[in-house]
Structure 1
Amino acid sequence: MTRVILSGCCGKMGKVISQSVSSFPNLQIVAGIDKFSDNSVQYPVFKTIAECTIEADVVLDFSRPEALDALLCYCKNKNLPLVLCTTGYSAEQLNQIQAASKEIPVFRSANMSIGINLINNILKDISAMLYENYDIEIVEKHHNQKVDAPSGTALLLANTIKNAIPEETVFNQGRDGIAKRAHNEIGIHAVRGGSIVGDHEIIFAGAGEIIELKHSALSREVFAIGALKACEYMGGKGIGMYSMDNVIKGSGEA
């Protein structure tokens, strides 16, 4: 049995994870971390992870970037794997995460959906081939409560495309004004409205044809299942940086 501490347990995703864990007989959420406890969960909740007195095997975070320092400190002190599902990290925080992976096992993914990560792998294979004759645009849509834009997933996909193309490309986030589109642009556009769980569309627009890759999350459960699969995977893993690629492929090396 892998014991999990869930950071952000009373948030929207935290609640879905708490409901979904019953489908994972080898996982148990033994404690939660949330400064706004609403007594909706069946395990003890602490306001900060530093206050947590419950022993666990892995820490799962679905909260906010501000929690990172405390999570890294706790996991280093306890020598625990850390599963990071939060988005919106600064460049400095990403460097912190990378540095921490040299001391403890760290899992990080901008999107916990299996489908998004499969699309990301497809982009690695096709982006360079299509780039010369196609303009590349990414459109992401989320609910009106999401605070970061563009989404972490849109940036994940954009960086995958950028890294696959040998030539220098630039991101154009939220195109504005009067200017002709440069071919080396990768457009990234964010829509915020209603209760959209998460839509991502990658457009390769050529002369006479359009190729589109699209993923729509119909419920938050898809992210919860991915996060719990990551917790299963990370139990007992060695020091290093892990991602959904490791989970999908079942590879044991960081």
Structure 2
Amino acid sequence: MSLKVGILGASGRMGQAVIVAAKRLEVAVTAAVVSQQSSRYGQPIRANDADGGVCFQHADELQAGQVEVLIDFSLPQALSANLALAQRLQVPIVVCTTGLGESHQQALDQAATKIPVLYAANTSVGMTLLRQLVQLTAAALPHTDIEIIEAHHSAKRDGPSGTALALGASAAAGRGVELTDVSAGVRGDGLRQPGSIGFAVVRAADIIGEHTVLFAQPGERLELTHRVGDRHIFAQGAVQAAQWLQQQSAGRYSMADMLQLKALLQDLL
């Protein structure tokens, strides 16, 4: 029997991509949630489902048993309500929303005491691997300057992106420090401070997502880059995360947990 998935933010770019990815991965989309202001409310999620297919609905209309896991691609301001919905339905939730602050992270931690929660600013498997490489490189090259350059489409709201910040956190972890203590933010005027991690942000046209972590020292530099040419990569990763999370107990998880990277690294070493 197919896993029953509910999508939060279902009418957005990524919500639509998840609907496509779910069908390809033989997962059933049984709920597609939109905001109270959405003009898509009541419409079928697919044009050829006009006669009895799943329609866009509001969160308060979801019933127990309708979904087995939720995937959230909505906005930061909806996170609290979405976590409450997951707890009401007693189902796991994969949170893919970017631009989250410290209060949001605390809300995720609190919800994870009751239900399985997986948070990923980027659900690409390749990006998950890149974060591990960045942490390893930062540890192996402790005196290099680090700059994180990211590019997205012109409509993206947050900057640096959640993925860029996650890469910064990985680099900081490799050096045994917190990103908040060494972040230089989006680089502007002024001299570089030793040990700082800087960010550069590009917003243009229809760029889906590009991230480069630059490690530089006099006479040498190393660049680790990840580029996405199709946002369905993110959707596919989110669905795979939902399939895995549905089998877990209450707690907070990451894409690295899903891929069992710690065990893999231990085996290699």
What TM-score, normalized to structure 2? Answer: 0.87
For residues 141 and 19 of structure 1, the distance between their equivalents in structure 2, rounded to whole angstroms, comes to 25
Q: SS of the counterpart of 1:131? A: coil
1:176 to 2:180 alignment = no
State the match for 1:8 in structure 2: 9
Q: Is the 8 A contact 2:44 2:55 kept in 1?
A: no
State the match for 1:57 in structure 2: 68
State the match for 1:153 in structure 2: 163
Q: 1:205-244 maps to which residues of 2 (within 5 A)? A: 205-244=216-255
Q: Is the 8 A contact 1:50 1:70 kept in 2?
A: no
Q: SS of the counterpart of 2:17? A: helix
For residues 84 and 176 of structure 1, the distance between their equivalents in structure 2, rounded to whole angstroms, comes to 32
Q: 1:194-209 maps to which residues of 2 (within 5 A)? A: 194-209=205-220
State the match for 2:267 in structure 1: none
1:141 to 2:146 alignment = no
State the match for 1:105 in structure 2: 116
Which of 83, 107, 127 pairs up with 1:72?
A: 83
Output the amino acid matched with 1:143. Answer: H
Q: SS of the counterpart of 2:141? A: helix
Q: Deviations over 1:140-192 (max 9, x none)?
A: 10001100111000000101111221367511122222x22111110111111
Hey, which bits of structure 1, 4+ residues long, moved more than 4 A?
none
For residues 168 and 261 of structure 2, the distance between their equivalents in structure 1, rounded to whole angstroms, comes to 25
* Cα distance, 1:251 vs structure 2: 8.8
Q: Is the 8 A contact 1:137 1:187 kept in 2?
A: yes
For residues 10 and 18 of structure 2, the distance between their equivalents in structure 1, rounded to whole angstroms, comes to 8
Q: SS of the counterpart of 1:216? A: strand
Which of 41, 47, 61 pairs up with 2:45?
A: 41
* Cα distance, 1:81 vs structure 2: 0.3
* Cα distance, 1:44 vs structure 2: 2.1
State the match for 1:32 in structure 2: 32
Q: Is the 8 A contact 2:96 2:120 kept in 1?
A: yes
Q: Is the 8 A contact 1:85 1:109 kept in 2?
A: yes
Report the identity percentage: 31
Q: Which moved more, 1:146-155 or 1:180-189?
A: 180-189
Q: Is the 8 A contact 2:44 2:56 kept in 1?
A: no
Which of 128, 136, 149 pairs up with 1:125?
A: 136
For residues 201 and 108 of structure 2, the distance between their equivalents in structure 1, rounded to whole angstroms, comes to 26
Q: Is the 8 A contact 1:75 1:81 kept in 2?
A: yes
* Cα distance, 1:110 vs structure 2: 0.9
State the match for 2:172 in structure 1: 162
Q: SS of the counterpart of 1:139? A: strand
> Across the two proteins, how many residue pairs are aligned to each other?
248
Q: 1:243-254 maps to which residues of 2 (within 5 A)? A: 243-249=254-260
Aligned in 2, Cα 1:251/1:163: closer, same or farther, shift over 3 Å?
closer
Q: Which moved more, 1:208-217 or 1:14-23?
A: 14-23
For residues 150 and 129 of structure 1, the distance between their equivalents in structure 2, rounded to whole angstroms, comes to 25
Gaps in structure 1 of 5+ consecutive residues: none
Q: Which moved more, 1:159-168 or 1:78-87?
A: 159-168
For residues 166 and 225 of structure 1, the distance between their equivalents in structure 2, rounded to whole angstroms, comes to 32
For residues 60 and 98 of structure 2, the distance between their equivalents in structure 1, rounded to whole angstroms, comes to 22
Gaps in structure 2 of 5+ consecutive residues: 47-53, 264-269
* Cα distance, 1:37 vs structure 2: 4.5
Query: How big is the alpha-carbon RMSD for the aligned residues of Structure 1 and Structure 2?
Result: 1.8
State the match for 1:94 in structure 2: 105
